[in-house]
């Protein structure tokens, strides 16, 4: 695919359009039929100029769009063999990591099976962690197991805003129903019209 020379010439060529300063109409106050008709005449003149400008740029915009599509396709074609090879390598790396993890799990199961059942519960068994593989990363996630204890810790450490995403709809509903608790200044009730 190649970019058509006429398209390039059309969009890279010098833009020459006759533009005039529009008639200033800020002085015009439409207050009767005569001034209404005068405003309509100005609008008609402005619409003609607007149409000429749009007609001038329409083929340039179409050519630009066609050139853009051609360039995007060229980029896609150029990247394709590299993306394919990169994907192939990623698949091989994933297969290797899966093999290593399977071997580790099998070794762990074998170790657990070698401990007699009667002492397995009373014995702490060291299972080596999964080995770090270059290019892999460890992700962590948190889960609240005791909400009251967690909220107490947040209050004690004055860090509720870091961990809690307050539901705006619930707060708005609280404000709407004007459920104020005497001495409770944590929620501000604001009404807007």
pLDDT in tens, 2-52: 556 666 666 666 666 666 777 788 888 999 999 999 999 999 989 998 898
Pair 81, 167 in one domain: no
pLDDT higher than 60, residue 126: no
Pair 26, 69 in one domain: yes
Pair 163, 97 in one domain: no
Choose one of 113, 137, 170: the last residue of a domain: 113
pLDDT higher than 80, residue 171: no
Share of the chain above pLDDT 90, in %: 24
Q: What is the mean predicted confidence (pLDDT) over 100-110? A: 87
Position 1 confidence tier, pLDDT thresholds 50, 70, 90: very low
Whether residue 28 lies inside any domain: the answer is: yes
Residue 100 to residue 166: CA distance in whole angstroms: 43
Whether residue 102 lies inside any domain: the answer is: yes
Whether residue 18 lies inside any domain: the answer is: yes
b (16+ CB within 10 A) / e for 50-77: eeeeeeeeeeeeebbeebeeeeeeeeee
Pair 51, 99 in one domain: yes
Whether residue 76 lies inside any domain: the answer is: yes
Whether residue 133 lies inside any domain: the answer is: no
Pair 65, 22 in one domain: yes
Position 183 confidence tier, pLDDT thresholds 50, 70, 90: low
Pair 95, 158 in one domain: no
Pair 91, 20 in one domain: yes
Pair 168, 73 in one domain: no
Share of the chain above pLDDT 70, in %: 67
Whether residue 25 lies inside any domain: the answer is: yes
Structure tokens at 128: 């080596």
Q: Please state the domain count of the chain.
A: 2
Whether residue 141 lies inside any domain: the answer is: no
In terms of pLDDT, which residue wins out, 99 or 5?
99
Whether residue 130 lies inside any domain: the answer is: no
Residue 154: Cβ-neighbour burial (10 angstroms; 0-12, 13-18, 19+): middle
Instruction: Look up the domain containing 153 and give its range.
Output: 146-193
Pair 95, 180 in one domain: no
Mean pLDDT for the chain overall: 78
Position 160 confidence tier, pLDDT thresholds 50, 70, 90: confident
């Amino acid at each position: 695919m190649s970019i058509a020379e006429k398209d390039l010439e059309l969009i890279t060529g010098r833009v020459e359009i006759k533009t005039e300063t529009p008639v200033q109409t800020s002085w015009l106050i439409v207050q009767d039929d005569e001034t209404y008709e005068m405003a309509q005449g100005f609008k008609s003149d402005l619409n003609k100029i607007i149409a000429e400008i749009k007609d001038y740029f329409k083929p340039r915009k179409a050519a630009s769009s066609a050139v853009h599509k051609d360039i995007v396709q060229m980029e896609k074609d150029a990247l394709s063999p590299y993306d394919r090879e990169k994907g192939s390598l990623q698949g091989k790396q994933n297969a290797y990591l899966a093999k290593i993890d399977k071997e580790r799990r099998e070794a762990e199961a074998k170790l657990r099976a070698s401990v007699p059942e009667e002492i397995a519960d009373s014995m702490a068994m060291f299972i080596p962690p999964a080995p770090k593989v270059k290019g892999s990363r460890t992700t962590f996630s948190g889960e609240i197991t005791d909400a009251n204890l967690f909220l107490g810790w947040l209050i004690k450490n004055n860090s509720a805003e870091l961990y809690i995403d307050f539901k705006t709809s619930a707060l708005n509903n609280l404000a709407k129903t004007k459920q104020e608790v005497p001495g409770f200044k944590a929620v501000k009730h604001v009404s807007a019209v």
